[in-house]
Structure 1
Amino acid sequence: MDLDAYVAEHDGEWRRLEQLSRGRRLSPAEVDELLALYQRATTHLSVVRSRSPDPILVARLSRLVLTARAAITGGRRLRPADAARFLTHHFPLAVYRAWPWWSGVAVAFCALTAFLTYWVATHPDSAALFIGEERARELVESEFAGYYTEFLPASFAFHLWTHNAWLAAQCLASGVLILPVFWLLWQNALNIGVVGGVMIDYGSAEQYFGLMIPHGLLELTGIFVAAGAGLRIGWAWIAPGPDRTRGRALADTAREGMIAAVGLIGLFAVAALIESLVTPSLMPTALRIGIGAAAWLAFLGYVLLLGSRAAGADASSR
């Protein structure tokens, strides 16, 4: 197949299809032309893929076919009412339905982290084993507190936001395999436990908790929700229940997991703002912790109140 000749022969049709797919109001004749050109373009795409799969041309035709399809079917745009529905119904419902999982993750994570912190704090040699004595002293003297003021607040907040969102995405994406979620949680528990144990062992417990709690309450809760939702997806595959197939159970829980993932982007944005602006500020420790606790309680109240209401509305509509 002569690809150059094929492109030269049909390029005019593709350009015309692109013009008709731009979203303007079409006359009846133009609608008929759009449908005809769309059908031809799908055939052209199939021919190119099977006979001469040039990646650039395949990408061009794929984009053209998708755009034309959206113009024909009238793709729906996001409206303010849709966003409000997501925030007041879909997201809190997804988090609420997964609450046994993420609350269980929270209890287990906090228990493990507390044990690791206690062990490192009461066994001074363990700090040298994990990070070395010199690094432990640097951590206490400057590194831990300096972490929150090393960068400008805006860039620091963006880094935190993307890092935590990526961690949550990993928990959700690997949930069907279950074990990777436990590995991610273990890595974070070990890091927090070692750092906390070293700070307490060197007499800097007040500084440690004063800097960790304001943002940690909300940030860790977001990680717990993501991990719980991921584990729920994996368990749906193992035990789908009596009324659902494995495929249906996996699809339903994965859909709710994706909804939770989108909503957690906003939660991590708030947590990042607290960590970049409130945590390193000169406000009294009690005030900083109070701000973090207020944001954390507001989130819990939001998902539990609206989530339970949404669950009741769904149950009554069936």
Structure 2
Amino acid sequence: MDLDVFVSAHRADWERLETLLRRRRKLTGAEADELVALYQRTSTHLSQVRSASPDPELTGRLTSLVARARSTVTGARRSSWRDVGHFFAAGFPAAVYRARHWWVPTALLSTVVAAALGWWIGAHPEIQAAVAAPDELRELTRPGGQYESYYSSHPATSFAAQVWTNNARAAAICLVFGVLLGIPVLWVLFQNMLNLGIGIGLMSSAGRLDTFLGLVLPHGLLELTAVFVAAGTGLRLGWTVIDPGPRTRRAALAQEGRSALGMALGLAAVLAVSGAIEGFVTPSGLPTWARIAVGVAAEVAFLFYVYVVGRRAARAGETGDVVAADRTAEAPTVA
């Protein structure tokens, strides 16, 4: 493409579009139709420049012009509490449901890894000795030891907030850094499963595995599910870098990235619930069966939310992406 010839041929259209966008009075019907036509034409020009002669200055000018024209054509849109309600009623559960082929295998494989690590540590005293000194191991696993006192070492409110912050950070790492081919996600998963496996192994070797599970299950079911959802979404984002499918890599990453951002907001709410359970229910004086029942109820409620509400929303066309009016316009590509 001869860039000078291209600019000379279409400069009049761009200047006319600029003039219409600067109009302070309301456009007439004919002017509005002209603005829409010029917007579409300039979008095509932008695509042609990007494909054939990516001049930074011209690309920047046309990108700004197209964005302003799009805002004028589609109109401004303000978010409202209705959007928040729609997100939690349809968008978020649909996104989690659509990602189930990633996070369900992640959950199953991670659970197997944690169980295997727990068995390995519990069955090999030399591995336990590498974890901590004998006196420290006794302090960790004895009745009233650190594994038990951990959940009541701070006031419930501050402890729940601390737990929520730590878990939300782990989920955010999975979602944000999944784009790095999913490698940070695998590291976060391994660290979580290693910590869980060490607890299983040490407490089982001390004959107190039932106590450990009674402390972990009330909050751990929902908490780990949220982490697995975040990890699965991060891995899917990483795979999108490798194989974007029929979409362009840029469009695929934009769509999956927006979905991951929404997932982060939804999972923050889920982790707030698990944090509240860990802060108030786990260290409570309720019998073990009652505390576990609370955790099971929370997990069942979340799975119902995903597999019933989310499936219905997904079948209705929800994807977890932002509404079309809030997405960046994609210029048509040149064949």
TM-score of the alignment, normalized to the shorter chain, above 0.5: yes
Deviations 1:91-126 (A, max 9, x none): 111111111111111011100000001111111221
Question: What is aligned with 1:248?
Answer: 251
Question: What is aligned with 2:186?
Answer: 182
State how far apart, in whole Å, the 2-side matches of 1:75 and 1:122 are. Answer: 64
Deviations 1:117-147 (A, max 9, x none): 1111111221111223222111112101010
RMSD across aligned positions (CA): 1.9
User: Secondary structure of the equivalent of 1:174?
Assistant: helix
Q: What does residue range 169-318 of structure 1 map to in structure 2 within 5 Å?
A: 169-177=172-180, 178-241=182-245, 243-314=246-317
Question: What is aligned with 2:104?
Answer: 103
State how far apart, in whole Å, the 2-side matches of 1:259 and 1:80 are. Answer: 15
State how far apart, in whole Å, the 2-side matches of 1:75 and 1:167 are. Answer: 35
Moved over 6 A (4+): 72-75
Amino acid at match of 1:246: R
Deviations 1:160-201 (A, max 9, x none): 011100110001111011111111111111111012100110
Q: In structure 1, list runs of 5 or more residues that go unmatched.
A: 1-27, 30-68
User: Secondary structure of the equivalent of 2:151?
Assistant: coil
Amino acid at match of 2:294: I
Question: What is aligned with 1:112?
Answer: 113
State how far apart, in whole Å, the 2-side matches of 1:75 and 1:214 are. Answer: 46
Which is richer in helix? 1
Structure 1 window deviating more from structure 2 (144-153 vs 134-143): it is 134-143
State how far apart, in whole Å, the 1-side matches of 2:86 and 2:241 are. Answer: 29
Count, aligned residues: 246
User: 1:75 deviation in Å?
Assistant: 6.5
State how far apart, in whole Å, the 2-side matches of 1:157 and 1:281 are. Answer: 13
User: 1:77 deviation in Å?
Assistant: 4.3
State how far apart, in whole Å, the 2-side matches of 1:86 and 1:283 are. Answer: 35
Higher normalized contact order (CA 8 Å, seq sep 6+, divided by chain length): 2
State how far apart, in whole Å, the 1-side matches of 2:264 and 2:159 are. Answer: 22
Q: In structure 2, list runs of 5 or more residues that go unmatched.
A: 1-23, 26-67, 319-335
User: Secondary structure of the equivalent of 1:148?
Assistant: helix
User: 1:76 deviation in Å?
Assistant: 4.7
Deviations 1:191-213 (A, max 9, x none): 11012100110111111010000
State how far apart, in whole Å, the 2-side matches of 1:99 and 1:148 are. Answer: 31
Question: What is aligned with 1:58?
Answer: none
State how far apart, in whole Å, the 1-side matches of 2:137 and 2:203 are. Answer: 8
User: Secondary structure of the equivalent of 1:314?
Assistant: coil
State how far apart, in whole Å, the 2-side matches of 1:146 and 1:300 are. Answer: 31
Question: What is aligned with 1:138?
Answer: 139
User: 1:285 deviation in Å?
Assistant: 0.6
Percent identity between the two aligned chains: 46
User: Secondary structure of the equivalent of 2:172?
Assistant: helix
User: Secondary structure of the equivalent of 1:147?
Assistant: helix
Question: What is aligned with 2:45?
Answer: none
Question: What is aligned with 2:55?
Answer: none
TM-score (norm 2): 0.70
